[in-house]
Amino acid sequence: MLNFEFFNPTRIVFGQGTIARLDTLVASDARVLILLGGESARKNGTLAEVRAALGTREVYQFDGIEPNPSYETLMKAVSLVREKKLDFLLAVGGGSVIDGTKFVAAAIDYDGEPWDILETRGDTVTSALPFGSVLTLSATGSEMNDGSVVTRRATQAKLAFTSPHVFPRFSILDPTKTYTLPIRQIANGVVDSFTHVMEQYLTYPADGLVQDRFAEGLLQTLIEIGPKLLEKADDYELRANFMWVATLALNGLIGAGVPQDWSTHIIGHELTARYNIDHARTLAVVLPANLQVRRTAKHGKLLQYAQRVWGITQGSEDERIDAAIDRTRVFFESMGIQTRLPDYGIDASEIGILVGQLRAHGMVELGERKDVTPEVGQRILEASL
């Protein structure tokens, strides 16, 4: 097992009716900014519940954080916080709103141009405003981690940063708040959390015995409940299980002491930045191709994945690996998510541009062995055609 430090200070408050707990979780004299995405939190009553729980506190609201939150929009929230001298942020939404809130929290007192937070991947963040979240969409794990992804529209750059200063103080996870999600977002969430696990599991054997078993348990749970989640919106147990799996998939636990890949995400970010494809859909395109192209380097773990996650025990090693990659692709497709670049209107002529973007963003040594160069990225994109 690799050396590691594990730190996760986020309090999770889980279950139906838990939004009322805001009254005790947020200081009674806090000056609060609620950050929101589109209309969903207003329409499904989540916002009203949040405002009721905050009672007589001074509360402002910032609407319109878009999916794949933009630096341009978030800087408006930064101005509002500074102008009104607010001291607590509350994200109400999915990963985009929570990620955006993390950026705002880090930017408030940032010494210099806040985009540098992304350029330096968070290394230059020394403080952040405290914030909490009320989660309405299971997918990213942002509710219990220190990561954030922000897009600068002007330059089509989608970059991530991490900082221990941007763990949420608390996150409220009420599964009933996900009942209004469109099927598309449920499918996205399943594929996103599945890929989060794979980025931390499908690398090379590192004797992280319990990490592997945790990861395989999360993957098997997603395979078990994924298709059922598409059938019925208001099944509490299904939504509750999915919500907790998605959080555990990226809260640091399964990745502690094991190698991590993340090249699928970084290549996927370039697809979203250029074509505005949903984050999870880019992962569904890149992951199977990535496993195929790097099957030699990932040989041991691919065989373990085939056997323990998919129960594949027959055939030669190569046949078992092929079957496991195929089952992964079929699983994504069974969630209604297409897995090839042409399904999204992208052909071979675009690959050179995407590889150029990887280079321009300094993404030249990716993966668990830092050997996913732009040339390997090109082969992965070609295998996605």
Sites of contact with ligand NAD (CB under 6 A): 37-38, 40, 44, 67-68, 93-97, 99, 136-137, 139-142, 145, 147-149, 177-178, 180-181, 185, 188, 192, 250, 279
The position carrying tokens 């030249």 is 364
Q: Residue 18 or 96: which CB sits closer to ligand NAD?
A: 96
The full DSSP string for 304-368 is HHHHHHH---SS-HHHHHHHHHHHHHHHHHHTT---SGGGGT--GGGHHHHHHHHHHTT--SBST
- Least separation in angstroms between residue 348's CB and ligand NAD is 25
DSSP label at residue 144: G
**Can you tell me which residue has the tokens 């729980």?**
53
Q: Are 208 and 260 in contact (CB under 8 A)?
A: no
Tell me how many degrees the CA angle 332-12-45 measures, rounded to the nearest 5: 75
Q: Cβ closer to ligand NAD: 117 or 306? A: 117
Side-chain half-sphere of 170: how many Cα atoms within 13 Å?
Answer: 17
Q: Specify the residue, 74 or 129, whose C-beta has the smaller distance to ligand NAD.
A: 74
Q: Least distance from C-beta 265 to ligand NAD, angstroms?
A: 7
**Min dist. Cβ of residue 295 to ligand NAD (A):** 25
Nearer to ligand NAD, 321 or 335 (CB): 335
Minimum CB distance to ligand NAD smaller for 147 or for 255:
147
**CB of residue 322 vs ligand NAD: minimum separation in angstroms?**
28
Q: Shortest Cβ distance from residue 40 to ligand NAD (Å)?
A: 3
**Degrees, nearest 5: CA angle 284-330-282:** 10
Alpha-carbon Rg of the chain, whole angstroms? 20
